[in-house]
Amino acid sequence: MFPIHHSLLDADALGAHVAEAFDVGAVDDCRFWRSFINDVYRLDAGGRRWWLRVQPAGWRTRAETEGEVEAILAVTAAGGAAARPAPRRDGVYVSELDAPEGPRSAVLFEDAPGADLGFLGKDGVANARRYGAASARLHDACDAVTAFPVRSFDLDFIVTRPAAVLAAFLDPGDRDELGRLTDRLTTIVRAASGELTTGFCHGDLNCQNLHFAGETATAIDFDCCAFGWRAFELAGFARGVAYLGKPGEAVDALIAAQIEGYRGHRPIAPADLAVLPAMLLAQRLWVVSLHLDGAARWGAINFDRPYAARALAWLRAWAPTLDRPPAWAS
């Protein structure tokens, strides 16, 4: 057999698996929905909508996936709004699927009502404020997760390893520039680390992954959840709205509104605010490394040297905020 890097599992067979293994009623429809870091299938069963997340082989250990499930259940038990995983008939939450490339973990999730907010146009600032408040409410519930040994946000996770991935796609001169920047980020975060707020984090509050139905915001996709700096989590929204832009009034207004919304419900320590510009650059580094690391699956046409060069240009454009922090970082 020719070596397989990543298979696409048959939707009908997965629907049959869900019908047999889960107490969700008859599966009326199962269809492949999207593939990026995980493969996601949408199911209609028992008069309800469900989502089956199938992880690629080697992406997470079973212990990591089980830890994520336990954390989500703890968050929801503490009153947090999150899409809950569904247990199988045998009480287990994680299915192991025997794929050609190796075992793959799958988890069935309830549907999250509502939809993502938009941040362009006249409602953008108000929506950013709503997003910030919802993030604060989620963190209230996340505080119930007092131990999470699966992984943590530390300097290796948010700066060192991501920078090494990006550097492999850059020319020598650009690698030197990236090295100087990552040294700067390391110095800033290390100096502040003793005062930074830590706790369990969703892992990817990137201006998406909260579905709003009125003022109720249900969190989805805890796949990157970790224990660590809440400032890194807060900077995820900034990374999302600043993805294609340069520093300026429009982006600053959205980030400031998100921070205002969060602080209206939950305080942010001065050290967390001060380190946000560095955490924003670290967020960008981190997500770029995910994209470049996975190019063998989703294609080098989008994630190769030109993408790496654009990422470095973005980091270069935002690096001055380390010396001249925007108003939202105070």
Q: Please indicate, yes or no, if residue 115 is contained in any of the structural domains.
A: no
Phi, psi of 54 (to 5 degrees): -110, 115
Residues 80 and 224 in one domain: no
- Please check whether residues 272 and 153 belong to one and the same domain: yes
Does residue 2 form part of some domain? no
Domain range for residue 259? 124-329
Same domain, 102 and 221: no
Same domain for 201 and 89: no
pLDDT at 246 over 90: no
With a cut of 90, say whether residue 62 has pLDDT above it.
yes
Task: Tell me what pLDDT residue 162 has.
Answer: 98
Domain boundary among 55, 80, 110: 110
Q: Which of 16-30, 165-179, 267-281, 289-303 has the lowest mean pLDDT?
A: 289-303
Q: What percent of the chain has pLDDT over 70?
A: 100
For residues 25-35, give the mean pLDDT. Answer: 96
What does the pLDDT read at residue 123? 95
Confidence of residue 6 (pLDDT cuts 50, 70, 90): very high
Please tell me the predicted confidence (pLDDT) of residue 296: 85
Specify whether 66 is located in the same domain as 160: no
Q: Is position 6 within any domain?
A: no
| C-alpha to C-alpha distances, 102 to 6, 97, 105, nearest whole angstrom | 9, 8, 10
Residue of 83, 104, 138, 96 whose CA lies nearest to 35 = 104
- Cα–Cα distance between 15 and 193 in angstroms, integer? 47
3-state secondary structure of 45: strand
Residue 244 confidence (pLDDT) above 80: no
- Percentage of the chain beyond pLDDT 90 is 92
State residue 100's pLDDT score: 94
Q: Based on the domain organization, do 157 and 222 belong to the same domain?
A: yes
Is residue 3 domain-resident? no
Q: With 90 as the cut, is the pLDDT of residue 325 above it? A: yes
In-domain check, residue 116: no
Q: What pLDDT was estimated at residue 298?
A: 86
Q: What per-residue confidence (pLDDT) applies to 67?
A: 97
User: For position 1, what pLDDT does the model report?
Assistant: 77
**Mean pLDDT (whole number) for 294-319:** 94
Domain boundary among 63, 85, 110: 110
Residue 131 has pLDDT above 90, yes or no: yes
Tell me the mean pLDDT in the region 287-291.
Answer: 97
Residue that finishes a domain, picked among 65, 82, 110: 110
Q: How confident is the model at residue 81 (pLDDT cuts 50, 70, 90)?
A: very high
CA-to-CA dists, residue 271 to 19, 200, 203, 248, 281, angstroms: 50, 18, 20, 23, 17
Model pLDDT for residues 144-200, shown as the tens digit of each residue:
999 899 999 999 999 999 999 999 999 999 999 999 999 999 999 999 999 999 999
Q: What is the pLDDT of residues 86-125, one digit of tens each?
A: 999 999 999 999 999 999 999 999 999 999 999 988 999 9
At residue 58, the pLDDT reads: 93
Same domain, 72 and 146: no
Query: Are 37 and 181 in a shared domain?
Result: no
117 domain-assigned: no
C-alpha separations of 168 from 116, 158, 174, 293 in Å = 34, 17, 10, 10
pLDDT greater than 90 at residue 245: no
The tally of domains found in the chain comes to 2
Q: Residue 206 is part of a domain; what is its CATH number?
A: 3.90.1200.10
> Is residue 87 located within the same domain as residue 214?
no
